[in-house]
Each structure stands twice: as structure tokens, then as C-alpha cells.
Structure 1
Amino acid sequence: MRVLLDTNIIIYREANKPPRQEIGILFRWLDQLHYQKCVHPKTIDEIRRHKDKTVVSAFEAKITNYHQLKTFAPESNPVSSIRAKFDRNDNDSTDTDILNEVFCKRVDFLITEDRKIHKKASELGILERIFTIDAFLEKVTAENPDLSDYKVLSVKKELFGNLNLRDTFFDSFREDYKEFDDWFNRKSDEIAYFCTSETSEVVAFLYVKVEGKNEYYSDIIPSFSPAKRLKVGTFKVISNGYKLGERFLKIVFDNALRFSVEEIYVTLFDYTLEQNRLIELLCDWGFKKHGVKQTGNGEEVVLVRDFRPRVNNSNPCESYPYLSSDSRKFLVPIYPQYHTELFPDSILRTESPNDFIESKPNRNAISKVYISRSYERGLNAGDIIVFYRTASGGSAYYTSVTTTVGVVQSVITDISSEKQFIELCRKRSVFSDDELREYWNWRTNNHPFVVNFLYVYSFPRRMNLKALIDAGVIQSTEAVPRGFEQISDEQFDRILEGSEADGRIIIN
């Protein structure tokens, strides 16, 4: 495999001594899989013009570690069209030159954090071969679980005072904020969320704080109007292939709902690749740039997420976790062996949490995949799904239960090959490649389709089949769902009522 590395990836690698942990993980995977690390000649020219001469000299010393492409692929008409549509300067033109090598299949993949390149790739129809660091690590982790260096343990809540402030994870905070250690120690009796590897190294950290309407915001420009807010005080996730960014965002949104805030905000610097990656993740989930915050350490970007109840059915990420009462509702079955693998937060009392630690991308992701052969394939973005966990021994009357609510992002029914099917499902489903291959070929006259959806909510109380029949949601033991089966608004309301669900997530 030949993997082309964009300029920002190489600079991120060579500008840090030692390299940041996530970039070390990326290069370790490339070496383990014996992928050829390629660079475009224009990338080399770009690095040699870099203003930081230490980066230039570090790259020059290690240039032999990379394979320099010796020729340029002829430019095709589709790439020329993209160039005319998007390119406004020399950097844009270089990006298109790099993308052309992927389009012409002279390299297998491109790893880049440049979202504009991803947009160009989408229009060229080659987005599945363009990866961010996160996405590439998720891909190789899912494909090669036996080669993973470590497992990620469950998210925990802990007092600041019980955490190891000297863990190298916190070094980047000390670089950005000279008063970080003092701030951390002042928080000794407050709660933080964190996640470690099995070697006890911190790999993700989150601190949130509720602020009232009288909070003072003179250092934020433009200033905030009075509102109840959730401040994301500290948020960092090391990219490692386990979708921890989404896992921790779910905690942010859960806290925002719990405390009934009107807005969520975060302030952070934007001068490193790591920080810009976090900004892009937040923007994917509805955060928008508000302004800047003046600090003694420099100027930070202020991002705000409107959390007042609203629904955007065309892009549910932007209004997550709210659902529209006007949306269609579907009941869909999920087998026990896949249920808690896909929904760890919906674990049953009869299952052990130790069997479902956050060691796979699909467990941590809010964005997930459901594959089906249902006759009903006409789902739309914004449709609501209620998952019905089928019987797991004993009477289905008592052991099959409704557990989880999701919302549809997109549905893909036009899948041309086994290869495309595996690529579409690999990172977000519970299945291995071999299982996906078997599922695709099980009925050649009825290939499966893919539903991309967001996991929204786990019911506090589970309605079993008996309760669902008594409530009129399911008519009889023979009428249990076998695919996507639409239910009425009234039946959905009965599920919410019987499950003691938080009604605030449903917007009239």
C-alpha cells in the first residue's frame, strides 16, 4: 500500500520533539502494516519554505524516511473541473495536485487534516480513500484488532486531586497555559471525566462547568448575552482509532441536557494541528465560531453550540440530541449478540460491563451503522428508530425489550459490490470484515442496505414484549418487528411513557 501524506501531517510529525502521541501512533501503524509513506514533490517545496527553520532542518535530516513521488500523474478532466471550482491560490493548487495522484490511483490513500481537500474528494467520488488521522486510525484499528498496541478502558469520573498531574498527557496544556498546574490543583475537589489505556496512560480528558446567567464575560469579544451555559473547560482526546472524541462529546451533550442549559461553549487556541482537529470535530456537531477570548497566554477562539430545543432533520448532528415529534417512527430488531456491542450505554442488568469496555470504535461512536435486508428501505434523514432487543434465552415475552432511540442520518441502498459494502460499514458497525462479507453474500438476490444513524438515548426503564403488547405497540407475539416497521405517534408516545424517557429530547 502506498499512502500519501499531506504537508500538515509531515510538519506535525517533524515540528514536535518528541512527536505528539497521536502522530506517533499513526506512524507506528504505517510501519507495522508496511505501508510506503509517500510525499509529493510540491509538499517538499512547501516544507522547505516553512517559516520555522527547525522544522525544515528536521525534515531535511529525515527526508530519506519518505518516498518522494518521482513523476506527476496526468490531470484528468474531473480534476481540472475541481481546480477551476475551488482553487484560489498556490496552496489550493498544490492540494489539487496532491489529490490528483489519488484520483489517478498512483497511491492508495491520502492522509490529510485539510477539510477543503476532503470536500474536493467528495465531489470527485474518492472520499473513501481520503482520511483524517482519526479516520485512518479507526480504519486500521478495525481491520487489524490483533495488532493494536493497547486497549482503551472505560470512561470514568474522578476527582482532579486523584489524577496524576505529571502524566505526559497534560504537557500540551502546560505549553499553552503557564498557570495550568495551579489551575489543576485548585480543582482538586471537582469532578473530571477521563479515559486511560491499559497501561494507565491518560488518553482523553474532559472537564465541564455550569455557569449561570450572571456569569462575567468581559474577556470574550463580542461578549455573551445573559444565558445559562455549559462551559467545556478542558477537552483533549489523543487520536488512537477508538472514536473517543464522539464518546466525550456525548458526555458534553448529556450534561447540557441534564442541567437544561441554553448554550455550550469552549475556548481554545487554534495554532496546532491537534487543536484544529478538535475545532473541526466540534463544528461537525453544531458548534460555531463566536469570537475570541483575550487571555494572558494569547487569544483563544470561542466556539458556541446553541442548545435550545430545535431540530435539523437534514443534518441531525447540528441539533443533537433533539428529535422532532413530526418525524416518522420505526421499530427495528437487533440481536442480543450485537446489541450491547453497538450500545454499551444500553447494557442490561444481566450483562457484565467488563465485557464492553471502550476498546472498539463502534462502541464509542455516536454515529453508527445498522445493516438490514428489511423490505422497508424508504427511511429518510430525521426518522426516529426505536431498537428492540430480541429474546436472549427464556421466554421472549419477558426477555425481549426496547432499549434505545436513534435518529437516521442517511440511507444507502445503491451498493454495487462487496468491497463497497465493507468500506461503508467497517468503522461504524459491530461486524468484522469477514462477518460483513458473509452477510453480503448470504442472499445474492437480496443484498443488504446501510442505515447511518446517531445513537441518541438509552431508556431508563425497559418495556418487554408483554408490556409492549399490553400498551398496544405490538399486536401479538407473532407480530414482533422483523425489519423496519413504522409505528404511529401514539405508539411511540406509549413507548416513551412506559420507558420513563426524558421527554425534553422530543420537540413538538
Structure 2
Amino acid sequence: MENLIYQHFSDINLNDPFFDGLKADYSEFSDWFTKKANAQDSAYVLYNINRCIEGFMYLKFEKEEVQDVSPALPYGLHLKIGTFKFESVGTRRGERFIKKMFDLAFENHADNIYVTVFSKHDYLMNLFQRYGFVIHGSKNTPNGIENVLTKDMYSTKTDMLENYPMVSSNSRKYLLSIYPTYHTRMLPDSILNNETHDIIQDVSHTNSIHKIYLCAAYGVQGLKRGDSLIIYRTSDRPGQARHRSVITSLCVVEEVRSINEFASLTDFLKYTSAYSVFTKDELVYFYNSKKYPNIIKFTYNAALKKRVTRGQLIDEGCILDERINLLEVNHSNYLKMLQLGNVNERFIID
């Protein structure tokens, strides 16, 4: 069972020790929680293998002028992060929650996202700011002064991470093939209908917005930061690629490195292990054998709502009937692929 679930407050254990810190920071937390339970509201909850809570996020849409912060937020559709806390334990859980909130904001055409955070929670401040949140102002509460951070869902910034999850239309575009063995472990929101949620684990390469993939595809060393990638999941059955190879995800290249750049195995493992789907033993083997010399680091920006098969791509003229490892595609075919995949057009910016 997937451990990050959307659950009614009434089904969440308020007495779990996880909530002790929130109760200490917010004197009204228990009363607020009970009101949400009575209203049948829900939140994202992360459970560990022992069913203890290790992450919690409550999101709420507000279509109004937000006047309890200074300066006020103008009238619009705001996605408020009402409560957000997680135990990091080194697995990039915060990034997985960040991606969930962005997905929801896009799905509902929110104008912005905002959150209030005490300065002492610097890890949260840094996490939000990394992905384009800025300090808008402050909020005075009985519990103290909180920072108000906002993310404008329409503004464009120069840095690709601050723009996340939006993708520049001015970039070069490619199809990148990934074997089924690694695909869903690395891109959990792009799970196929015939796959089981049991394979999605609470580990860094699953939670993270950032991914590292090793391959031997020709041309990978020519990729540049900001290039767009449409992930092409290869067939899991020989001879059935037309119906079982599909495009699933929209990603953006952060950087490309060669396995030969690393002076030692230790340096290589330090760079790859946290964001890679490969086990340590596999990485050691790859380093020693140089079997997969190209290392791609990329961001996971969006899952295609509709899986588009290889056959559809050929019939629509997006690709030729050829083997795909890394294939550059033109702008019009790129947009057609995203349209076929029912990707929200707001993900693409000039």
C-alpha cells in the first residue's frame, strides 16, 4: 500500500506523537484539527511501515482577498498550505509534498500558493524558496510572527528551479527512453494503470523532484540545462512496443555528467546515490564496468494524464517507426505529444 495517502481528518490519529510539535507551536491546533474532522475535510498523510505518521500536509483553496496577512494578497484563487510538516530522515519527502501541491494548484487553475512559516523552521523556508516561493510579508498570530511566502503561478523567473514545475517552450525537446524496471520507482506519479502501488517506496529517488538516471544512449552528452525531456517507457513485453511503449512524464534537464569525470567510487556514489533508482551494488558495478557512462540529472515536472502509446505517436506523425533511446523532436510534435497526453498547457511558458 502506498504510504502517502489522502485521508479524512476523522481517520487520522491526533494523538500520534508526530503532532506534538504542531501542538506546541500552535495552541489552537487540537481544536482546529477537531473542526476539520467534523467538517469531513482531508489532508495528505505519510505513514511509515508501522503506521506511525511521518508527514502531514493540509491544503485549502480560498477565492478571496486574503486580509489576515500583511500586505494583503489581492483577490484571486489562492491555494493555502494550511499545515505542513514532515520528518525528513534523508528521503526528500519534502520535495514529494511540494510536487503534490503544485499538481493541485495547476489542476484547479490557482493564481498562487501561499504558506506561513516561523523563521525557526529554516529547512522549510529554504525548501519553499528553492522552488520559487518568495517572502511576501508577515502574519501576526497569538503564537508569534510568521513569514508569509508566496508562489505566483503565472510569473516567469530566470532559474529553472524557481520556475518549477513550469517548463520553457524555448528549450530543445527530446524523447528519453527508460526501462520499465526503473520507470515507476523513479517517477511515482506516472504509474501505469496495470502496475501496483506496492512498488512505490518511501526512498529518495521516489520522493525527489530531482532524478538521476544512468544510460548509454548516444547523444546524451549533448544535452544542456533547461532541455525538455518527454519520458518514453519502453515495452515490458517483447514484440508489443506499438501498444505497450508509452510516453508518461515531462521533465527538464539539470545537468549531464560522464561517469569518467569522477575521481573515485566514493565521489561517484556521493553524487548519484540519493537521487538514483539503482542500488548501491548496481552503482558500484556501473562505476567499475562503465556500462552506462552517461549520467542525467533532471527534474520531474509533470505526469501525463493520458498515456500515449508508440502506435499513437507514429500514427499522429510525431515519430517514425524507429528505435528510441534519445530522440530530438521538433516544437510542433512536442506540443502535439503533450496535447495527446492531456498535459495542462499552463505547464509550458515562454
TM-score range, shorter chain: over 0.9
1:428 aligned onto 2:278: no
- Please list the CA deviations of residues 336-360 of structure 1 after superposition, one character each: whole Å capped at 9, or x if unmatched: 111111112111222111222x322
Q: Distance in 2 between matches of 1:383 and 1:267?
A: 33
- Please list the CA deviations of residues 133-172 of structure 1 after superposition, one character each: whole Å capped at 9, or x if unmatched: xxxxxxxxxxxxxxxxxxx952111111221111111111
- Please list the CA deviations of residues 406-435 of structure 1 after superposition, one character each: whole Å capped at 9, or x if unmatched: 011222246133523222111101011221
Q: Which amino acid aligns with 1:253?
A: F
Match of 1:440 among 263, 287, 303: 287
Q: Distance in 2 between matches of 1:258 and 1:337?
A: 29
Match of 1:453 among 267, 283, 298: 298
Paired residues in the alignment total 344
Q: Which amino acid aligns with 1:441?
A: N
Match of 2:147 among 267, 292, 301: 301
Shift of the 171–363 alpha-carbon distance from structure 1 to 2, 3 Å rule, reads same
Match of 1:368 among 181, 200, 211: 211
Q: Distance in 2 between matches of 1:453 and 1:233?
A: 29
Aligned CA RMSD, in angstroms, stands at 1.8
Counterpart for residue 128 of structure 2: 282
Q: Which amino acid aligns with 2:340?
A: G
Q: Which amino acid aligns with 2:3?
A: S
In the TM superposition, what is the alpha-carbon distance from 1:216 to its structure 2 partner? Answer: 4.0
In the TM superposition, what is the alpha-carbon distance from 1:443 to its structure 2 partner? Answer: 4.3
TM-score normalised per structure 1:
0.65
Counterpart for residue 492 of structure 1: 334
Q: Which amino acid aligns with 2:339?
A: E
Counterpart for residue 317 of structure 2: 472
Q: Is contact 2:4–2:46 with CA below 8 Å preserved after alignment?
A: yes
Q: Distance in 2 between matches of 1:475 and 1:153?
A: 37
Q: Which amino acid aligns with 2:223?
A: L
- Please list the CA deviations of residues 66-105 of structure 1 after superposition, one character each: whole Å capped at 9, or x if unmatched: xxxxxxxxxxxxxxxxxxxxxxxxxxxxxxxxxxxxxxxx
Q: Distance in 2 between matches of 1:433 and 1:417?
A: 18
1:201 aligned onto 2:47: no
Q: How does 1:98-497 map to 2 (within 5 A)?
A: 154-188=3-37, 189-212=40-63, 214-217=64-67, 219-271=68-120, 275-310=121-156, 312=158, 315-356=159-200, 358-376=201-219, 377-394=221-238, 395-413=240-258, 415-419=261-265, 420-443=267-290, 448-476=293-321, 479-482=322-325, 484-497=326-339
Q: Percent identity, aligned pairs only?
A: 35
If asked which structure has higher relative contact order (CA below 8 Å, sep 6+), I would say 2
Higher CA-based Rg: 1
- Please list the CA deviations of residues 173-217 of structure 1 after superposition, one character each: whole Å capped at 9, or x if unmatched: 1111111111111111111110111211110000011111x3341
Stretches of structure 2 lacking an aligned partner (at least 5 in a row):
none
Q: Which amino acid aligns with 2:65?
A: E
Counterpart for residue 146 of structure 1: none
Shift of the 153–201 alpha-carbon distance from structure 1 to 2, 3 Å rule, reads farther
Q: Which amino acid aligns with 1:240?
A: V
Counterpart for residue 501 of structure 1: 343
Q: Distance in 2 between matches of 1:276 and 1:324?
A: 30
Deviates more, 1:327-336 or 1:220-229: 220-229
Q: Distance in 2 between matches of 1:417 and 1:335?
A: 28
Stretches of structure 1 lacking an aligned partner (at least 5 in a row):
1-151
TM-score normalised per structure 2:
0.93
Q: Which amino acid aligns with 1:507?
A: I
In the TM superposition, what is the alpha-carbon distance from 1:494 to its structure 2 partner? Answer: 2.1
Q: Distance in 1 between matches of 2:156 and 2:202?
A: 33
Q: Is contact 2:6–2:44 with CA below 8 Å preserved after alignment?
A: yes
Q: Distance in 2 between matches of 1:499 and 1:252?
A: 21
Q: Distance in 2 between matches of 1:295 and 1:359?
A: 35
Q: Distance in 2 between matches of 1:431 and 1:216?
A: 45
Q: Is contact 2:2–2:198 with CA below 8 Å preserved after alignment?
A: no
